[in-house]
Amino acid sequence: MKRAVCLLSGGMDSAVAAAMAVSKGYEIYALSFDYGQRHRKELACAEMIAGSLKAKEHRILKIGLDVFGGSALTADIDVPVGGKNAGDIPVTYVPARNTIMLSYALAYSEVIGADAIFIGANCIDYSGYPDCRPEYFRKFQEMADLATKAGVRGRKIKIETPLIDLDKAGIVRKGLELGVPFKDTWSCYKGGEKACGVCDSCRLRLKGFESAGLKDPVAYEK
């Protein structure tokens, strides 16, 4: 059976990407990160999603990007609300996060003999992070082909970005089609008891459900 490492944050995008891996016949190995994010609640959601998707294994790695800070998600910087950083790379960008996480996923893939890595990045309704663009993933694929034993021996580990060209409404519809339990996902950057409803991540998520003509099943403060 084909194997895939799925980067599973606990958010809706990564959950849908992992469900797509399952639908394509992959046995999935979920990989999540406790990197010092203020919204650590997403890790509990990642565990629930991994269970619902019957992941063969789910690992949560502690890597501590809060040591460096530089982001509103890992340092004492206010999370912007109401689209304040529209048109710019927001302060919620975590420096090199996808590169670091994909590198761990690449090492994990080599050890278990995985054929692919699934990541739930998209570049339509997103926050403008540089490591969510198609050109970034093309270059990472080139690096992976050159830097791994698997790649040198001709068994390339494919970096799969199945949501890259979908808007949030399309992601919601695909998730519903695949039975993704959106009630068990978490997107809010603030990590409170309820989602704030006004941070960039909440706004994009709510826009997706509204555009799809559906109600988001998670509770919001606003």
Q: What is the pLDDT of residues 154-165, one digit of tens each?
A: 899 999 999 999
Is 3 a residue whose pLDDT tops 90?
yes
pLDDT of residue 93: 87
Give the pLDDT confidence score for residue 91 in this predicted structure: 85
In the prediction, which pLDDT does 201 show?
92
- In this prediction, residue 59 carries a pLDDT of 98
pLDDT band at 26; cut points 50, 70, 90: very high
For the segment 13-42, the average pLDDT, to the nearest whole number, is 95
Q: What is the pLDDT of residues 48-89, one digit of tens each?
A: 999 999 999 999 999 988 888 888 787 778 888 866 555 578
- The answer, yes or no, to whether residue 16 has pLDDT greater than 80, is yes
Q: Provide the whole-model pTM.
A: 0.94
Residue-level pLDDT at 40: 85
Do residues 178 and 20 make contact, with C-beta atoms less than 8 angstroms apart?
yes
Please tell me the predicted confidence (pLDDT) of residue 87: 55
In tens, the pLDDT along 87-120 reads 578 888 888 999 999 999 999 999 999 999 999 9
User: CATH assignment of 3-211?
Assistant: 3.40.50.620
180 CB-near residues (< 8 Å, 6+ apart):
12, 15, 16, 19, 49
DSSP secondary structure string for all residues of the chain: --EEEEE--SSHHHHHHHHHHHHTTPEEEEEEEE-S-S-THHHHHHHHHHHHTT-SEEEEEE--GGGT--STTTSS-PPPBTTTTTTS--TT--TTHHHHHHHHHHHHHHHHT-SEEE----SSSS---GGGSHHHHHHHHHHHHHHSHHHHTT---EEE-TTTT--HHHHHHHHHHHT--GGG----SS--SSB-S-BHHHHHHHHHHHHTT---SS-B--
